[in-house]
Structure 1
Amino acid sequence: MQRDNMMFSNSMTLWTGALLILSVSLWSCTTAQSDGAADCCLTTSHRRIPQRVVTSFTIQTSDGVCRIPATIFVTKKGLKLCAPFPSENNWVSKLIDHILAAPVHRKPKGKKQRRQ
C-alpha cells in the first residue's frame, strides 16, 4: 500500500512538473510574438511619398526586435509605408518636418455649445 502511494506521488510530481514546463513554454512563445516583431519593416523604399496622404510616422531602430532602421509612415487609409531612416534621405526628413508642423485637429468633447 505504501509503495502504491509513493508511485502515485511520484507520477503526480512528474505530471505537475511537465505541466509547469509546458505552461512556461507557451507563455514565453506568446510573449515573444507580442513584442511587435510583426510590425517591423523588413525593407524600405526610396520612392517618395506624397505629403497629402501621410498622417503620422514612427521611427524604427535596429537595436530592438527589428533588424533595420526605417521610418514608418502611416497614410490616411491606415497603410504603413516603410521608408529609409531620416538621415539617409532628405525627402524623409522633410516629410517628418511637415507632419510635425501640421496643426493637430481635435474634436471637441461633450455637447456642442449653442451660440447666442
Structure 2
Amino acid sequence: MFSNSMTLWAGALLILSVSLWSCTTAQSDDAADCCLTTSNRHIPKRVVTSFTIQTGNGACRIPATIFVTKKGRKLCAPFPSENNWVSKLIDHILATPVQNPRKQKGKKQRIQ
C-alpha cells in the first residue's frame, strides 16, 4: 500500500511541476503580431495610413508587408521585392505629407 501511494504522489508531483513549468514558459514568451499568410489582393491607397516590413527572421516566419488602414486594421501583403503594387503603395505612403490635426472651430488654443 505504501508503494502505491508513493507512486501516486510522485506522479502528481511530476504533473504539477510540468504544468507549472509550461505556464511560466508561456508567460515569458513575448507574443509576436505576425502575418502568417499574405494576400496578393490590391489595397486601395485611400485606406492605408502606414506600413511595417516583416522580415522572415525571428518569431515571424514569412517576409511580408503589414499595411495599417484608417480603421486600424492590419492587412498582410507580399514582401515589396516580390510584388510591384506593394512597392508603389509604400512609395505613395512615404510621399504623402503628415497632416497636422485640425484646429477646433470656436475654441482658442492655448499655447504653453
Normalised to the residue count of structure 1, the TM-score between the two structures is: 0.67
Alignment partner, residue 93 of structure 2 = 99
1:3-18 alignment runs, 5 A limit: none
Matched letter for residue 52 of structure 2: T
Q: 1:4 maps to which residue?
A: none
What does 1:37-56 align with in structure 2 at a 5 Å threshold?
39-56=33-50
Residue among 79, 82, 89 paired with 1:88: 82
Cα offset for 1:28? 2.9
* Offset, 1:99: 0.5
RMSD (CA atoms): 2.5
SS at match of 1:87: helix
Q: Which structure 2 segments of 5+ residues have no match?
A: 1-15, 103-107
| 2:86 counterpart SS class | helix
CA offsets, 1:39-82, max 9 Å, x none?
Answer: 21111111110000000001111111011000000101111110
Secondary structure of residue in 1 paired with 2:100: coil
Give the corresponding residue for 2:26: 29
> How many correspondences in the alignment?
91
- TM-score, length-scaled by structure 2: 0.69
Is 1:112 paired with 2:106?
no
What is the CA–CA distance in structure 1 between the aligned matches of 2:62 and 2:22, rounded to whole Å?
Answer: 28
C-alpha distance in structure 2 between counterparts of 1:44 and 1:55, whole Å: 19
Q: Which position in structure 2 is the counterpart of 1:12?
A: none
How far, CA to CA, are the matches of 2:58 and 2:24 in structure 1?
Answer: 20
Selected match of 2:54 from 56, 60, 77: 60
Q: Which runs of 5 or more structure 1 residues have no equivalent in the other structure?
A: 1-17
- How far does residue 105 in structure 1 lie from its aligned partner after superposition? 1.7
Off by >2 Å, runs of 4+ in structure 1: 24-28
